[in-house]
């Protein structure tokens, strides 16, 4: 399928429609798949179902807060940024609220905390890696 390049509020995005069936669309944005449900209003114009977040209107849905493939225990990037430091390793025990890594965005450091209690099963990023909002950074399980 065709790839669309766009810029939203200065951020660059690359979107590809992977599947379109009825009112369901599977779109890949910067390598992350998102399921989008289209809603039809009384007019013949097709509108996009939007999350509660306020996003600019571009004719495509805003990325959901969690990607389609996120599993329970997945720690997601809340914003696009650069992984500065990873403070845990696979096999470490963590509890809810423990800082697991530090993310830099717009010259500010953000501590990213575990969203669940358990053992670090997989670290999906490396220090120095760029991440997009919604990327799975670390997987924590029992």
Residue 142: both structure tokens together? 């029992």
- Pairwise CA distance, residues 126 & 134, whole Å: 16
Tokens matching residue 82: 């650069």
CA angle 135, 137, 142 (to 5 degrees): 125
Task: State the pLDDT at residue 123.
Answer: 92
Residue 43 is predicted with a pLDDT of 55
- List the chain residues with pLDDT less than 70: 1, 40-70
CATH 2.40.50.100 residue ranges for the chain: 74-141
3-state secondary structure of 136: strand
Asked whether the whole model's pTM tops 0.75, one would answer no
Query: What's the confidence (pLDDT) of residue 138?
Result: 92
Terminal C-alpha separation, the chain? 39
| pLDDT score recorded for residue 56 | 53
- CATH number of the domain at 74-141, please? 2.40.50.100
């Amino acid at each position: 399928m065709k790839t669309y390049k766009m810029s939203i509020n200065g951020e660059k995005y690359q979107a590809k429609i992977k599947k379109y069936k009825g009112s369901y669309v599977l779109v890949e944005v910067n390598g992350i798949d998102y399921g989008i449900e289209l809603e039809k209003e009384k007019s013949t114009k097709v509108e996009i179902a939007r999350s509660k977040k306020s996003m600019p209107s571009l004719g495509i849905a805003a990325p959901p807060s969690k990607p389609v493939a996120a599993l329970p225990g997945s720690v997601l990037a809340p914003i696009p940024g650069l992984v500065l430091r990873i403070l845990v390793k696979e096999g470490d025990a963590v509890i809810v609220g423990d800082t697991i890594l530090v993310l830099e965005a717009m010259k500010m450091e953000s501590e990213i905390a575990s969203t669940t209690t358990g053992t670090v099963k997989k670290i999906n990023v490396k220090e120095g890696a760029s991440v997009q909002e919604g990327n799975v950074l670390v997987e924590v399980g029992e």
